[in-house]
Amino acid sequence: MFRNIENTPQLTTKRLILRKFTYDDLEHFYEIFSQDEVNQFLPWYSLTSLEDSKSFFETKFKSVYDDEVGYRYAICLKEDNKPIGYTKVSIDETYDFGYGIRKEFWGKGIATEAGKALLERVKGNGIEYVTAKYDTRNPNSEKVMSKLGLSYKYSFQELWQPKNVLVTFRMHQMNFTKTPDFVYQGYWDKSTVRYVEENL
């Protein structure tokens, strides 16, 4: 499916540089992943130490960089090239899009700007569609998805680990080369509580 491409190639936008995290970024990495507001609706706990930051970076990001193909970016402002957030697309059948931004930079359109650049890249590299899911308690994520052109498909419940919390998600999707009516069914098939909400 994939063309001969570089893992997590650097991207630029009007205000941003999207690049790989490195060990030199661990302090900024910690600032992102230690903020409770940023990580409240994500499937991990906020980091509590720089040592945790190193382990989390190696597990969640460097391991992806070591693979042949990957899309896990540090979001940096051009003015200093220091990470203030991240964005990613998973390389599995979900092609799950996600992001996180330090709370000091919320409301500035940064997630949308970074997401647009990332989605254009994965589309150009042959990925047929992307999905994104958000906790219904976090409606701000839906606003970003809508601005990027992802549309609602269905809702489902999942017991999210390691927090052991039952979460209701809304799944959004954008098709690139798939037919317009194609809907990824993986989350639907795995959940015993799934439904389509009307008039969203």
Task: Give the closest residue to 72 by CA, choosing from 92, 98, 52.
Answer: 98
Task: Give the closest residue to 56 by CA, choosing from 69, 42, 67, 70.
Answer: 42
Predicted pLDDT of residue 71: 96
Structurally, at CATH architecture level, domain 11-195 sits in 3-Layer(aba) Sandwich (3.40)
Predicted pLDDT of residue 193: 98
Q: Where are the domains of the chain?
A: 11-195
Binning pLDDT at 50, 70 and 90, where does residue 4 land? low
Q: For the segment 32-84, what is each residue's pLDDT rounded down to a tens digit?
A: 999 999 999 988 899 999 889 999 999 999 999 999 899 999 999 999 999 99
Q: Is the peptide bond before 139 cis (omega within 30 degrees of 0)?
A: no
Binning pLDDT at 50, 70 and 90, where does residue 2 land? low
E strand residue ranges, the chain: 11-12, 16-19, 71-77, 83-89, 97-101, 129-135, 151-160, 165-175, 194-195
Q: What is the pTM of this model?
A: 0.94
Binning pLDDT at 50, 70 and 90, where does residue 188 land? very high
